[in-house]
A and B are shown apart, each in its own frame.
Chain A
Amino acid sequence: MTYLAKPKLHHPQLPTNKLGYTRRDYEGAVSTLCAGCGHDSISAAIIQACFELALQPHRIAKLSGIGCSSKTPTYFLGASHGFNSVHGRMPSVLTGANLANRDLLYLGVSGDGDSASIGLGQFAHSIRRGVNMVYIVENNGVYGLTKGQFSATADRGSRSKRGALNTDASIDMIGLAMQMGATFVARSFSGDKAQLVPLIKAAITHNGAAFIDCISPCVAFNNHAGSTKSFDYVREHNDAVNRLDFITGREEITADYAPGTMEMVTQHDGSALRLRKLHTDYDPHNRISAMSYLLERDAAGEVVTGLLYVDAAPMDLHGHINTVETPLNALDESALIPGAAALEKLNASLR
């Protein structure tokens, strides 16, 4: 980590997006995480995704729990409001924030220690309610901030840096998200920016609960031989089922694809996901076959990545409970308070 403040000056010819922002406008403070931390790559991917989508930084709210991953919202989107809440409880805070103002974009950043242990319940319930959010778990299988204890996503049989054996079964966040009815489920790897950035973009434009499990090796405590969350292990066992291109508007498809290897998924906002299939028989719209495939590959020690499941016409929590289009935090007295006459009528019914 560095103690130097990030200079505000930047090259005058940095590329800008259609709002006129440069990539720098989406950055945050300098990271205080360890050099080489996978989490910093995810922060960079978030910055890249927001820049490419030309989002207004201040219309994003970034929320997190407690832990290394939960510190990262400081390191991206400096012009956005952030909320570092309590351990494992980001999902409820995000749910409340989302209910208050449906017009902002909600980015929940959490880790495996945060979301798979104390936060498991809140993770599951926020997903099953269909809160419109991007929920990223920066998954390294280890408690970094408290120096290397196993987390609940560490695989049974994997070894800690000190050689201890993990005898507990691991919690599969992807499997849970699928079961809980997430309408967008992806897994990626912090070391694969080309895969991760389009997935984040697709998750952001998805109108429902979008979950990304991002394997993010901990260089300090979980990047050794014997770990199943190390850079080497994930690279060797990465089974990508597809590659995704995120397309805004009507971009021309120039490349030729063999039949059955490419699929376009149109989202509610008109954007499209171009899926280049690496496994032609993997169907990301069939939850049951997807879950079965994931279990199978998991048993074989493979890490399946890509867009694993997507519902092209999702409904979010606001849709389920039929709230008004105006953000609830913007309703005034005339919309909220029934007034004295209504009260007098009510009084009369209570006599």
Chain B
Amino acid sequence: MSQPIASINDFVVKFANVNGSGSASANTLFAKTILRMGVPVASRNIFPSNIQGLPTWYEVRVSEAGHIGRRGGVDLMVAMNPQTWDQDVEEIETGGYLFYDSTKPLPKSKFRDDITVIGMPLTEICNREYTDARQRQLFKNIIYVGALGALLDLDGAAIEALLSEQFKGKDKLIQPNVHALHLGRDYALKTLKCPLDIRVKRTDAVGNRIFIDGNSAAALGAVYGGATVAAWYPITPSSSMAEAFMRHCARFRVDPETKKARYAIIQAEDELASIGIVIGAGWNGARAFTCTSGPGISLMQEFIGLAYFAEIPAVIFDVQRGGPSTGMPTRTQQSDILSCAYASHGDTKHVLLFPEDPRECFEFGALAFDLADRLQTPIFVMQDLDIGMNDWLCEPFTWDDTRRMDRGKIMTAEMLDAGKEFGRYLDVDGDGIPYRTLPGTHPTRGAYFTRGTTKNRYAKYSEEGPVYVDNMDRLIQKFETAKKLVPAPLRRNAKQPTRFGAIYFGSTTPAMKEALEALEQRGIHLDILRVRGFPFADEVLRFVAEHDKVFLVEQNRDAQLRTLLINEGSVDPARVVPVLHYDGTPITARFIIAAIAEKLSAFTVTPLRKAAP
């Protein structure tokens, strides 16, 4: 028997469940209780592409230090699924804990001797207490939360307060849930050694942060960004964003007097129609978006090219999952970067935004609509499943009530009457962005024909070489303008001068921050830069130029952001070292530390250049 792990406010609990068993809400209750005790948590659903009967896991990392990336390894396994028993037991760290339903005796060979085993006859307790099969199932989940509360020294009042909030309006459900909670708690206190050496202690490390998933946050961003038209087609992991938009709109966008909707949401027949609806609405002056994932992006390619070339505002939220093809629909990756950046045939380039957490999903979600109108082009918000479908602890949302929508360059009837020259593709300000008129503006002026074919500055069809080149070059100029409008990269220098740097983006942030602390403790210093938008700001290229080697940490096999950087920035490929994580699980600090330390040792054995004096 190894020494049991002892840790206060720093451990990982993993729940192994069967999907469709109602465990999700019990598990969330567990995570939220710890948050209410002032201790940061990171929670992640690991689930199959299935509705009922297959294994599903819920991982809760408790970290007073605020590390909310995935850690890897499990200190306490709550093994509720016989199907995955062996693999679940295997995953427990040496000295860890196994909590299981001991109703049916299991042979000794099913356990390990280097962990602490905690059996509780959950099924038996349920069968004794309840007669209804569904109740037995649902309350079993609450009973184990009650027991875990005792084992981990959770604040019982906090759990009960959360239950009351959860069932507010359905008050008669509160009491039975509290009862189940007590059943578990009382059994544990009476029968098991409580608390364990891993436990939670109330502190004040959460502050005013909020706990929300990125898809809900992005949908809220769309509400605050003034989106009125949404068209979507169900696809994991983006469907919950469309559903959240419906929820937010029902709450915030119903005319209080007429009860009519200040929004239109269409569940389209496919992704082709979704983006078509968005483009039609954008052309006609409404702020419109679709949300999808990789396969949807593939389907939308032709239309995205039209929006680029005809210069129509559109916002596309891509909640990335594991590809290629159907790939890993319920796993996370950052693998649509190239297919979005260069979406469609011919010479095209698109603006991408990379939010790091739900807070930025909200912020960039709203910003995307200003950018789309300003730049008259598709804007991609590059979420991923890890941010999109998991609750993250993040800074609260803020909004400036004096902020106005930037509708970009729209020529009005008054401007036309005043004799202002209108050429739909005429660059009057030198920023590559022309004026547009909305349909229905003026009886005699400003009408034009929108087309995907080549046209001159006045929107007249033309296949003349110079006319085509003139237009394509202006589009490049517009892309230059975009550079200054996308969120700037954020740089943080190491405590001491270093020749090494690291670039990262999106959901890698928490793992990267944690890795950086650990590397620093080992004496490895890195300047870091977080990319938040594409086209890359000059600062990104400067960052690469200032370092001998820059690690580019990303969650795909082919180093897609690195490719983009080398391609667009003419960066020396030898300077940019890929650190790639692509097994579908969220990247961990442990992975980054190991990868960078290993690559670094190779470089430092044969230094390419002397360190700066």
Q: Is B truly associated with A? A: yes
Which residue numbers of A lie inside 8 Å of B, CB to CB? 56-59, 61, 63, 73-74, 78-86, 89, 91-101, 103-104, 121-122, 124-125, 129, 318, 321-325, 328-329, 331-333, 335-340, 342-344, 346-347, 350-351
A204 → chain B closest CB, angstroms: 16
Interface membership of B49, Cβ < 8 A? no
With a CB–CB cut-off of 8 A, which chain A residues contact B399? 337, 339-340, 343
A87 → chain B closest CB, angstroms: 8
Query: Which of A63, A333, A336 has the most CB atoms of chain B within a 10 A radius of its CB?
Result: A336
| Residue in contact with B288 in the complex, picked from A63, A78, A100, CB distance below 8 Å | A100
- A59 adjacent to B440 (CB under 8 Å): yes
With a CB–CB cut-off of 8 A, which chain A residues contact B260? 322-325
With a CB–CB cut-off of 8 A, which chain A residues contact B226? 331, 333, 336-337
Decide: A321 near B439, CB < 8 A? Known: A96-B288, A329-B286, A331-B228: no
| Residue in contact with A89 in the complex, picked from B210, B212, B303, CB distance below 8 Å | B303
| Residue in contact with A122 in the complex, picked from B35, B276, B404, CB distance below 8 Å | B276
- A121 adjacent to B443 (CB under 8 Å): no
Within 8 A of A (CB), among B252-295: 252-253, 255, 258-266, 268-270, 272-286, 288
Give the complex CA separation of A127 and B35 in angstroms.
50
Give the complex CA separation of A121 and B274 in angstroms.
13
- A92 adjacent to B280 (CB under 8 Å): yes
- A84 adjacent to B451 (CB under 8 Å): yes
Which residue numbers of B lie inside 8 Å of A, CB to CB? 35, 206, 208-212, 220, 223-224, 226, 228-229, 231, 252-253, 255, 258-266, 268-270, 272-286, 288, 302-303, 306, 396-401, 404-405, 437-444, 447-453
A88 → chain B closest CB, angstroms: 9
Q: Which residue of B lies closest to A339 (CB)?
A: B401
Q: Which residue of B lies closest to A61 (CB)?
A: B439
- B449 adjacent to A323 (CB under 8 Å): no
Give the complex CA separation of A93 and B302 in angstroms.
13
With a CB–CB cut-off of 8 A, which chain B residues contact A122? 269, 272-273, 276
With a CB–CB cut-off of 8 A, which chain A residues contact B255? 324, 335
With a CB–CB cut-off of 8 A, which chain A residues contact B262? 323-324, 328, 331, 335-336
- B447 adjacent to A322 (CB under 8 Å): no
Give the complex CA separation of A229 and B266 in angstroms.
37
- A333 adjacent to B447 (CB under 8 Å): no
Q: Which residue of A lies closest to B306 (CB)?
A: A86
Q: Which residue of B lies closest to A59 (CB)?
A: B440
Give the complex CA separation of A78 and B447 in angstroms.
8
Decide: A97 near B281, CB < 8 A? Known: A86-B306, A104-B440, A328-B262: yes
Q: Which residue of A lies closest to B36 (CB)?
A: A351
Give the complex CA separation of A125 and B233 in angstroms.
13
Decide: A351 near B252, CB < 8 A? Known: A99-B286, A125-B268: no
Give the complex CA separation of A97 and B279 in angstroms.
8
- A99 adjacent to B277 (CB under 8 Å): yes
Give the complex CA separation of A332 and B439 in angstroms.
18
Give the complex CA separation of A351 and B165 in angstroms.
11
With a CB–CB cut-off of 8 A, which chain B residues contact A63? 280
With a CB–CB cut-off of 8 A, which chain B residues contact A100? 228-229, 280-286, 288
With a CB–CB cut-off of 8 A, which chain A residues contact B268? 92, 125
With a CB–CB cut-off of 8 A, which chain A residues contact B253? 336
Q: List 23 A-B contacts (CB under 8 A).
A: A79-B447, A81-B438, A81-B447, A82-B449, A83-B451, A93-B280, A99-B266, A100-B229, A100-B284, A100-B286, A101-B284, A121-B270, A321-B265, A323-B260, A323-B264, A329-B228, A329-B284, A333-B405, A335-B255, A336-B226, A336-B228, A336-B253, A350-B211
B85 → chain A closest CB, angstroms: 35
| Residue in contact with A99 in the complex, picked from B264, B272, B441, CB distance below 8 Å | B264
With a CB–CB cut-off of 8 A, which chain A residues contact B450? 81-84
- B276 adjacent to A328 (CB under 8 Å): no
With a CB–CB cut-off of 8 A, which chain B residues contact A78? 447
Give the complex CA separation of A3 and B401 in angstroms.
56
Q: Which residue of A lies closest to B228 (CB)?
A: A328
Query: Which of A73, A321, A324 has the most CB atoms of chain B within a 10 A radius of its CB?
Result: A324
With a CB–CB cut-off of 8 A, which chain B residues contact A340? 398-401
- B211 adjacent to A351 (CB under 8 Å): yes
With a CB–CB cut-off of 8 A, which chain A residues contact B231? 92, 96
- B449 adjacent to A74 (CB under 8 Å): yes
- B286 adjacent to A89 (CB under 8 Å): no
With a CB–CB cut-off of 8 A, which chain A residues contact B306? 85-86
- A81 adjacent to B440 (CB under 8 Å): yes
Give the complex CA separation of A328 and B397 in angstroms.
26
Given A85-B452, A336-B228, A338-B223, 9 more contacts at CB 8 Å?
Answer: A58-B441, A92-B272, A100-B229, A100-B282, A125-B268, A328-B286, A329-B438, A339-B399, A340-B400
